[in-house]
Structure 1
Amino acid sequence: MTQTLTIARVGHQGDGIAETTEGPVFVPGALPGEVVEGAVHAGRMERFELIQPSADRRPIHSQTYAECGVAPMQHWADAPYLAWKRELVVATLAREGIETEVGATVAVPPASRRRLALHARRAEDGRIVLGFKARRSWRLVELTDCPVSDPRLTAALPALRDVAAPFLGHPKSAPTLHVTLTDTGLDVDVTGVEKKSGGLTGDVRALAIAAAARAGLARLSLDGEVLMMERQPRVAFGRASVPLPPGSFLQAAPSAEAEMVQRAVDAVKGAKTVADLFCGAGTFTFPLAEVASVMAADSSAASIAALKAGIGTAQGLKTIRAEARDLFRRPLSPFDLKGIEAIVIDPPRAGALEQTGQIARTKAGVVVGVSCNPATFARDARVLIDAGFRLEIVTPIDQFLWSTHVELVGIFRR
């Protein structure tokens, strides 16, 4: 049955929401104030005719992104879109009973993302297709334009299709190319290749290596196993040049990373000793070491080895101690953190409830929480607040442009 609805707001998944007597109706792609018409099934209007558009509606930047859902908010004007992301953070904190200053959302510019995860498939006509999965579907949408990514990634797509071809030989293989733009060139780690049937033959590996060489890749790896390395992929963290391990974590946009790092460094200034927990290869460690001695810890031994290798490339830093340690199973205790005056913690999406509980019992006066998941940040923040910390300010960071994802930095002080 066709209905005409007025959109009241945008939900946390990016869908427009209309309130009706039967309950809310979710309308993907609709904006607040718009009048839409279409068929409603199970509380959703998947396709609609736009009867009255919002003044905040903008032409889309990418048809690929319109189909795949990677950037579902690209049709919304900047100001209301960024304000909506701020409100997502405010509402998430409120669910934990947390009221604090929430700053304006920090935007990142288009054409700045340095990482892409590209699914590779062979089309019916034999072409190699790289792209993203369509919204609510297994269909692959070919990537032809990518306004959020560094142009050097988009320019490399033809060569990357050539690199993907050898990995598509087995019918059960569904390879994904994790492409990272580093200071020394493109680093590609391939996952999703069938291994139970014997994996890649020597001949296929040779084809992959030859394709990587033609593409000028810095490195090609398969699930972290290096197949070819022409140049060591390196990234700059503060004054250091760090050799990036295959398949390791890296913030998606350098500008977002810089915003988060600057807030962390500013917050801990005056402390003589800082702990950097879930430090990775040193994103925060090296800038922090410009103002204080740093104790760094992460579960990835490869990341810690890379961090240690980067120490020798930087001049004028204070002492850095780095340890490979599973902070979920063996969180650092108040005894381990004795003498630490400030703590920076940047856990994965699951948050770090156990480690946060240990931090709450330390004598650290400042804690900087960096998070890619406002829900787990709010849960963990509640622990610190109940232990006597005050959450001074939270700054949302729009690292993934036009997506529903929002990151943040929160500053706690006793």
Structure 2
Amino acid sequence: MSRRTVPAARPAGASIAELTIAEVGARGDGVGLYDDAKVFVPLTVAGDRVRVRLDESKGDGLRGKLLELLQPGPGRRPDAPPCGHFGVCGGCTLQHMDDDTYAAWKVGTVRTALDRVGLGDVVLEPLSRTPPGARRRARFAALRRGRRVWLGFNERASHRLVDLATCPILTPRLEALLPPLRAALADALPDGGACDAVAADLEGGIDLLLVGPKRLDRAAREGLVRLAEAAGIARLSWQPDDRATAEPVAHRAPVVVRFAGIPVTPPSGAFLQASPQGEAALVAAVESAIDPAHGSGVGPTGKLADLFAGLGTFALPLARGGRSVLAVEGDAPALAALGKAAAGLRLATERRDLFGNPLTAKELARFDAVVFDPPRAGAAAQAVALAGSRVPLVVAVSCNPATFARDARTLVDGGYALRRVHPVDQFLWSAHVELVGVFER
């Protein structure tokens, strides 16, 4: 017989409540208690005394909408948040915190996730920070109604769009793209039409991929070519949906991203680390773990595997010193771009679905170290295979402390020791935190 979780009921006869926020949860919402029920209240900090409206159930508690801040907690910033859209836009959730509280909360989310699996005593390195104005890649949503186009991010917990005027997390070139892109989409989109715009600020200029509309007529294409010329877009591509192949619309200049100085031409819309600073912190943590001066590092003749390798964020720096690297990735265009860039290096590539077909313990036996950097879902199957292997050094890169903790528990149960974790704040003012964990046998 299956078990069902019964959500907390809204207290009878109560729609408005006063409560004190005890902590900020993993998703960035403040958490307080009302009649023994948890209430999750966005835009609050620990110590806030607030008046809230109690809304529908949320997991094991209730949602609360902040109506009035009765008394601020000690971690609330004394001045206004840096973005005028904050509180409505769902992109940032933590601009109301002061800087010290914000940084401590980011580190605390990692510690809490590890505590839940019995690994909370691990050494946590200092938090690497990303400054404002550094986000080089973003996916915007656009919707046309009449002659107006809304362009931006979704509102918090909503499908409604915030029409961005400014955004302090974006690079200046991406922020400057918003007005001309909005104007061009007024012509390219039909009334009621929508699309996503994946924009990356790269060497050579902006790389822009439009996902949707379903069709582009000649007039729309000509308008997008004019947009590319006027807005300094190096490459503009289009695809009708996420499963289709990108089709070039305008290609005015080469676009390049460099890893350890090695140029890579990414496919349109390819995954990149969100900021150069965040990427540099992650790469530095991985390279430090691989350095023979630290624990069971790998010398210049060692053999490494980079799993979920993408465009080569880690594989290329690791191969640059002469090591032999196998880069494994499921995305064919990304792997082809990496393979082309790796000419002259001891770097081989393999296309493989590591979720359904992870490298086995036998296949892993030839490597001195393994680096893996999966999506937010983690790498449960690959972690099981690694736990059964004899690889002396495993370095895990993650954008989700919860799935990292799950996979870390698997590795530790298989005989590894988690030596240290390096948290990286790459998604500024959001509830997301990335990290690098170092495991040794």
Task: State the TM-score, normalized to the length of structure 1.
Answer: 0.92
Contact 1:167 1:175 in 2 (8 A): no
Whether 2:191 is the aligned partner of 1:180: answer no
What letter corresponds to residue 301 of structure 1 in structure 2?
Answer: A
Q: Which runs of 5+ in 1 are unaligned?
A: none
**Partner residue in 1 for 2:11:** none
**Secondary structure at the residue paired with 1:323?**
strand
In 2, the alpha carbon distance for the partners of 1:89 and 1:361 equals: 25
Contact 1:163 1:212 in 2 (8 A): no
Match of 1:222 among 210, 220, 238: 238
* Greater mean alpha carbon deviation, residues 400-409 or residues 361-370: 361-370
What letter corresponds to residue 23 of structure 1 in structure 2?
Answer: A
Match of 1:289 among 319, 341, 345: 319
What letter corresponds to residue 218 of structure 1 in structure 2?
Answer: A
**Partner residue in 2 for 1:254:** 276
Distance change >3 Å, CA 166–CA 298, structure 1 → 2: farther
Contact 2:155 2:162 in 1 (8 A): yes
Aligned residues between the structures: 404
Contact 2:188 2:223 in 1 (8 A): no
Whether 2:383 is the aligned partner of 1:356: answer yes
In 1, the alpha carbon distance for the partners of 2:404 and 2:54 equals: 35
Whether 2:138 is the aligned partner of 1:116: answer yes
Task: State the TM-score, normalized to the length of structure 2.
Answer: 0.87
**Secondary structure at the residue paired with 1:142?**
coil
After superposition, what is the alpha-carbon deviation per residue over 1:203-249, rounded to whole angstroms, capped at 9, x for unaligned? 43333233223322111112322222112211011120100111110
Contact 1:74 1:402 in 2 (8 A): yes
In 2, the alpha carbon distance for the partners of 1:283 and 1:304 equals: 12
Shift in Å at residue 254 of structure 1? 0.8
What letter corresponds to residue 220 of structure 2 in structure 1?
Answer: V
Shift in Å at residue 123 of structure 1? 4.6
Shift in Å at residue 166 of structure 1? 4.0
Shift in Å at residue 14 of structure 1? 1.3
Contact 1:279 1:296 in 2 (8 A): yes
**Secondary structure at the residue paired with 2:206?**
strand
Q: Which runs of 5+ in 2 are unaligned?
A: 1-14, 57-61, 240-245, 293-297
Aligned residues: CA RMSD:
1.8
**Partner residue in 2 for 1:98:** 119
Q: Report 1:36-115 matches (<5 A).
A: 36-42=50-56, 43-58=62-77, 59-99=80-120, 100-115=122-137
Match of 2:308 among 278, 287, 298: 278
Whether 2:412 is the aligned partner of 1:398: answer no
Contact 2:43 2:66 in 1 (8 A): no
Whether 2:338 is the aligned partner of 1:301: answer no
Q: Report 1:134-145 matches (<5 A).
A: 134-145=155-166
In 2, the alpha carbon distance for the partners of 1:163 and 1:309 equals: 34
In 1, the alpha carbon distance for the partners of 2:52 and 2:305 equals: 54
After superposition, what is the alpha-carbon deviation per residue over 1:359-414, rounded to whole angstroms, capped at 9, x for unaligned? 22333211110011112111111221111110111122111111111111100011
In 1, the alpha carbon distance for the partners of 2:187 and 2:392 equals: 54
**Secondary structure at the residue paired with 1:262?**
helix
Shift in Å at residue 20 of structure 1? 2.6
Distance change >3 Å, CA 310–CA 50, structure 1 → 2: same
Shift in Å at residue 17 of structure 1? 1.4
Match of 1:151 among 155, 169, 172: 172
